[in-house]
Chains A and B, each alone.
Chain A
Amino acid sequence: MTDAVTRSKRTPLYECHLRAGGRIVPFSGWEMPVQYTGIIDEHMHTREKTGLFDICHMGEFILKGAGAEKDLEHLFSRKVGDMLPGKCRYGFLLNDKGTIIDDIIVFKVSPEEFMLVVNAGTIDKDAEWIKKNISESTVFADISESTAKLDLQGPLSADVLKKCIDPAVVEGLKRFSFTDVSIDGVKVILSRTGYTGELGYELFFSPEFASKLWDKLLVFPEVKPVGLGARDTLRLEEGYSLYGSDIDEDHTPVEAGLSKFVSMEKDFIGRAALKEQEASGVSRVLTGFICEGRRSARSHFRVMDGSRDAGEVTSGAFSPCLKKGIGLCYIDKGLAVENREISLMDGKVQIEAKVKSLPIYEH
């Protein structure tokens, strides 16, 4: 590999993180803050007040042109034709086998223009796949480098935004909707979306204003910076899948229990494979679990039903809200029953746990 491939990238907020006491770790080719004051503290702050996350590493694409909608209908697991402009939809890019290339959010600007928000580690792969599968008239642009993203998440996030923009705009913004706003003269696409299970918003804007908006939002006493560590525990309590851990090109949305984000009544890449899988049935499915104590299973622990191997853990961590180990695992379908007792093991540790449907943390 060359230096250009191995050198980590920094977001425009790198210096802000150092100033805020952030501990920097490598993540998907980026140097990102894993925590500031501590994962548990930041997690609880997001559940109780509001957290601010630097998500500049994630990717954004634009698809434009008269055929953009038709192309996306073919590429994306859910319908886009029936979306109103200003709406967002979560779904998948699938390959011919029906397994997951990426989980993304589609923003419909108009029938001829869409923004796609994709994972950081899959930007190049997704771009290649999309370019290969769109018509010549559709213009594809990777705007990741010229797009900064901040997530403002937590029960007080709307109140904070109301101090920054017209409160009526905040009130009117429904879940999975977006709108253009201006914060202190900075043009921002504001969406009511997130990855924490809390009321929350995502802000997309030009990177030159990243530290300006970061500093502005942190002036509010109810807002604290939150790192990727708590982002992971927050999403795990909800049971949201993480691409590369819980979902990947070895699993389909059917196995991942995410069929509701697939519209089988339309045609798209991967549909035939999913249809076949639905007919034949899947042997393992993704489900949540709660450990009996504070110790958590970690990814790659085996799931045991007595002495029989019955699956694999894909995510595991300590849940700050439940004060127990929690996680996600692929498990033999017959065992995916609420409260079913299972053992989670690696070479030296055995942890007793119970199956939990999602969300893992009910609130």
Chain B
Amino acid sequence: MHVPVGVKVGLFAVAVMGSYSYFANSIPQIESKPPQELSLEGGNVTPAQLVKAGEEIFHTKGTCEICHRIGQPGTRAPDLAGAGGRAAKRKPGMSAKAYLIESLLQPQAYVVEGYPPIMPAVDKPPIALNRSEVWALTAFLESLGGTVDVTLNDIPASVGAAAAGGGAAEFKIPGDPQAGAQVFQGKGTCIACHKAGKIGASPVGPDLSQIAKIQTPDYIMGKILNPAGMGTVAGFPKGVMPQDFGTRLTSKEYVDLVSFLLTLK
């Protein structure tokens, strides 16, 4: 059988280039996408676009993946596979949409059993998503096993105001921070385990030097009164913090202490 030279050479060239193509396709493929500035308010957005934008936020700005995984239970937070479908059954009488928005904006309102209540509100620093981004993120979570029906009007207009303003929302508490510092070092014995700015150095409990920046007043107040119920920061031993501050401290001392802690930024 005589094969023409052109055919042989052609097949050879195809084989060579095919193997180059094959190799290039065999490594993980990364596309370089142009950066996007997300503002969806006012425009017409399809649910598909919204979900895509939300997924992007989930992976990037939202930093959700540090604790949450999809299709894999994390040690710090629940698996989000099927979250959109499950959300409707979490709280009786609450729609999936409302539950998801609540869990993003007020994470401590309902904490899934077996996990510590450590999630920060996504519209506050350091994550500080704006209203559009919360909208998109909700849509993405709904798309995980549910139907996407969230509209921008579902997201409270106040969302993201803190982020836009550049700091935490103004929060006034009628206490004396200086007296609170004395409580921290003295009667409260907090200093035995915690560090707060220049005061204290013990590494037993988490460093509180910037607690006001990373946690809400609600969390701080709750944690003092009910340490076990508020969960334990990852990496620290459980059940070390005394349970009896609510009975040992006077209400003035308690309010002073909280207002002191809120100065720690």
B is a partner of A:
no
A interface residues, Cβ below 8 angstroms from B? none
